[in-house]
Amino acid sequence: MAPYMMYHTHSFAGPILMIGLWVIQLLLAFLIYRDAKEQKMLAPVWTILAILPFFGYLTDLLYLVIREVRAPRKSEPAPASL
């Protein structure tokens, strides 16, 4: 038997870790969508950016920074008509 085949093992840690990170990324995208919609921000755009494979976590951090800096929009009551 060749030496390189003797120590070959199958590792399931890589795919399981990748699936776990993807599930976390989808959950964060969902939470960002709900919050962005409530804050009257561009919810679909933020969600798409949060789902992107390599830039999703950076987008999540950027969203949190922008959300904290930006004053929350309050729903203003309609002016009373006379």
pLDDT tens per residue across span 27-82: 999 999 999 999 888 999 988 888 887 777 888 888 888 888 876 666 666 666 65
What pLDDT is recorded for position 37? 92
Distance CA 54, CA 25 (A): 10
Nearest 5°: the CA angle 31, 65, 48 is 45
Residue pair 59/52 in contact by the 8 Å Cβ criterion: yes
CB atoms within 10 A of CB 56: 20
Q: Where do the structural domains in the chain lie, given as residue ranges? A: 27-70
pTM of the model: 0.63
Residue reference for tokens 């959300």: 67
What pLDDT is recorded for position 3? 56
pLDDT tens per residue across span 6-26: 555 667 778 888 889 889 989
What pLDDT is recorded for position 80? 64
What pLDDT is recorded for position 33? 94
